[in-house]
Amino acid sequence: MDVIYPRCAGLDVHAETIVACALWEEEGKIQKDIQTFSTFSKGLGDLLEWLEEHGVTHVAMESTVVYWKPFFAFLEGDVDLTLANPQRIKNVPGRKTDVSDAEWIAKLLRHGLVEKSFVPP
């Protein structure tokens, strides 16, 4: 499958934490880094710094509630953002964790398989 976004990240957004998975290729191998950030101001700054350190250009995020709104506004303009509809990117049933969700979102985005939800200005 073709790689559309070589340096991307998936975010699983919750009320108090954001689990992030960055994916990139190095020496022919896919690399990943997974971190958990706080949803408070310092955590958002740390998340943006972490994304920049990894050279992430595209980010997809999933949130089943309105928790995504402040993070979307914070990151908008620094990276290309995609708000994913959770129903469209469901992971396979079974052992589901925030970490596996973030990694799944990143993998789908890497191959251009995440459809953008409309976010009004």
Q: The pTM is what? A: 0.91
In a domain, 84, yes or no: yes
* CATH code: domain of residue 88: 3.30.420.10
25 domain-assigned:
yes
Q: Does residue 117 sit within a domain?
A: no
User: Are 25 and 6 within 8 A, CB to CB?
Assistant: yes
DSSP code for 98: H
Is 85 inside any structural domain? Answer: yes
From the list 65, 83, 64, the residue with the least C-alpha distance to 73 is 83
**Residue 51 carries which DSSP code?**
H
Q: For each of the chain's 121 residues, which pLDDT tens digit applies?
A: 899 999 999 999 999 999 999 999 999 899 999 999 999 999 999 999 999 999 999 999 987 788 888 888 999 999 999 998 877 777 656 557 889 899 999 999 999 999 888 888 7
Is residue 120 one of the residues assigned to a domain? no
Residue 98 lies in a domain: yes
Assess if residue 115 is contained within a domain. Answer: no
Backbone angles phi, psi at 100, to 5 degrees: -65, -35
Residues 6+ apart with CB under 8 A from 117: 82, 83, 84, 85
Domain count for the chain, please give it: 1
Q: Has residue 68 been placed in a domain?
A: yes
Which residue range forms the structural domain that includes residue 99? 8-110
